[in-house]
């Protein structure tokens, strides 16, 4: 078997264009991967186009050799393009052997994984709206919710904003009760001093974690914040080197990280990161702010990796047409996702539906602008600001 072509499809999801990668083979088996990256849509698409000639003609079942060649060709850099091709090759291998990918990673360690909802807090930015939406999710069976209560704030909070944000979090906690986990998203927006200050009042709401309070690139400062914070600080989605995880978890400043599979080398890279974290008794909560294809990728890992704490999921809040784009993806039931048992990733894409929702340059979030949490993309006028 050899790779005959690698194609990219950009799907115009309203708040983030999805870059989907299709690897075709001489045996007729097709594998899927994802190289989505927010404002990196066209760069990520072209990155796949630029390296695909290095993979065409190669055996997709020899994943390690193929990825090693791509990695070295990019001067020892892991990219979403490489990760997408890598995942697609695992999909091909699973289909070729007629087994799910997790079976090739040592077998299933769980039947289902608990998920936390993200992307649910659209609409009016008020304590009442947040509380109402949170309650509706708990009624559906969710036991964990993540949200960014900070709106357009950046770097520091004034006293008025701090009081309002406290009201939002308090209203959610009051509505869902003490048995539901709350995760607070920082989106890397604060400086270290402000992050530590915020962490002290977040403790009042029994939050499970404060995610990405500062820039991930400064791991020393991240460790400093984590050690000064009375609540758990998690990070990892921005790490693109395995040694970044080693530095963070070996500091004993956290016990959960959230790797992004596309940034760490796909499935093989995720297994390596899981092993690093396991050696320091640290759990994983894979980042997952892309398409249902990415959810299905993460589920294969959740099926095979023991040190999984929880899995992020946006899928309940997608546009209705996405159910037609991915007609057989796994749905959340009572706060859990079952580990799929179909060969490979266990998901297919309807390319006709994809064509009807093409790339749109406005499909991205204007983070730290008022109303970004509505996830409707940026308007043309905003792009000119």
Model confidence pLDDT, tens digit, residues 53-75? 999 999 999 999 999 999 999 98
Q: pLDDT at position 37, please?
A: 80
Q: Is residue 365 part of a domain?
A: no
For the stretch 29-56, pLDDT in tens is: 999 999 998 778 999 999 999 999 999 9
Q: pLDDT at position 364, please?
A: 82
For residue 306, give the DSSP letter: S
Q: Is residue 350 part of a domain?
A: no
pLDDT above 80 (res 204):
yes
The C-alpha torsion from 202 through 204 and 205 to 209, rounded to 10°, is 40
Query: Six-digit token pair at 137?
Result: 């999710």
Q: Is residue 59 part of a domain?
A: no
Q: What is the CATH number of the domain that holds 228?
A: 3.20.20.120
Cα 62 to Cα 44: distance, rounded to the nearest angstrom? 24
Q: Is residue 188 part of a domain?
A: yes
What average pLDDT does the segment 203-214 reach?
98
- Catalytic site residues? 187, 287
The SS3 call for residue 58 is coil
* Number of domains within the chain: 1
Residue 178 domain boundaries? 103-344
Q: Is residue 95 part of a domain?
A: no
Give the predicted TM-score (pTM) of the model: 0.95
Taking each continuous run of H as one helix and of E as one strand, the counts in the chain are 14, 12
Query: Six-digit token pair at 60?
Result: 């997709």
Residue found under tokens 């799929």: 340
What average pLDDT does the segment 300-311 reach?
99
Q: Is residue 81 part of a domain?
A: no
Q: pLDDT at position 381, please?
A: 38
- Quick one: pLDDT band at residue 136, thresholds 50, 70, 90? very high
Give, for 355, the enclosing helix (H) or strand (E): helix 351-355
Q: Please list, in sequence order, all residues whose beta carbon lies within 8 angstroms of the beta carbon of residue 26, skipping any fewer than 6 positions away.
A: 1, 2, 3, 4
Q: pLDDT at position 369, please?
A: 84
Nearest-CA neighbor of 136 among 192, 180, 96, 105? 180
What average pLDDT does the segment 235-259 reach?
97
Q: Is residue 252 part of a domain?
A: yes
pLDDT above 70 (res 377):
no
Q: Is residue 24 part of a domain?
A: no
- Quick one: pLDDT band at residue 379, thresholds 50, 70, 90? low
pLDDT above 60 (res 313):
yes
Q: pLDDT at position 140, please?
A: 97
On average, the pLDDT of the chain sits at 95
Query: Six-digit token pair at 382?
Result: 């905003």
Give the total residue count for the chain. Answer: 385
């Amino acid at each position: 078997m050899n790779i005959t072509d690698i194609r990219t499809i950009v799907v115009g999801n309203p708040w983030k264009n999805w870059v989907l990668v299709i690897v075709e083979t001489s045996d007729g088996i097709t594998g899927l991967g994802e190289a989505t990256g927010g404002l990196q849509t066209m760069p990520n698409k072209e990155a796949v186009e630029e390296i695909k000639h290095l993979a065409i003609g190669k055996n997709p079942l020899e994943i390690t050799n193929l990825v090693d060649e791509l990695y070295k060709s990019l001067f020892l850099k892991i990219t979403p393009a490489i990760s997408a091709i890598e995942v697609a090759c695992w999909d091909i291998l699973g289909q070729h052997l007629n087994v799910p990918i997790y079976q090739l990673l040592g077998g299933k360690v769980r039947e289902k994984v608990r998920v936390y909802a993200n992307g649910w807090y659209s609409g009016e930015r008020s304590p009442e709206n947040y509380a109402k939406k949170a309650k509706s999710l708990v009624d559906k069976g969710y036991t964990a919710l993540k949200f960014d209560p900070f709106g357009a704030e950046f770097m520091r909070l004034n006293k008025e904003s701090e009081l309002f944000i406290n009201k939002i979090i308090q209203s959610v906690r009051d509505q869902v009760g003490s048995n539901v986990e709350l995760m607070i998203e920082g989106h890397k927006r604060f400086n270290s001093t402000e992050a530590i200050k915020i962490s002290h009042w977040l403790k009042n709401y029994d939050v499970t974690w404060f995610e990405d309070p500062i820039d991930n690139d400064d791991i020393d400062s991240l460790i400093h914040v984590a050690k000064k914070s009375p609540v758990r600080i998690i990070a990892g989605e921005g790490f693109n080197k395995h040694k970044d995880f080693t530095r963070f978890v070996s500091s004993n400043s956290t016990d959960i990280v959230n790797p992004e599979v596309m940034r760490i080398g796909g499935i093989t890279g995720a297994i390596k990161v899981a092993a690093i974290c396991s050696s320091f008794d640290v759990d994983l909560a894979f980042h997952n702010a892309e398409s249902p294809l990415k959810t299905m990728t993460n589920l294969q890992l959740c099926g095979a990796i023991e040190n999984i704490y929880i899995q992020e999921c946006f899928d309940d809040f997608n546009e209705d047409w996405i159910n037609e784009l991915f007609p057989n993806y796994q749905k959340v039931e009572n706060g859990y996702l079952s580990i799929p048992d179909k060969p490979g990733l266990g998901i297919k894409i309807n390319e006709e539906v994809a064509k009807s929702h093409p790339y749109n340059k406005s499909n991205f979030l204007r983070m730290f602008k008022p109303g970004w949490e509505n996830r409707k993309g940026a308007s043309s006028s905003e792009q000119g600001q």
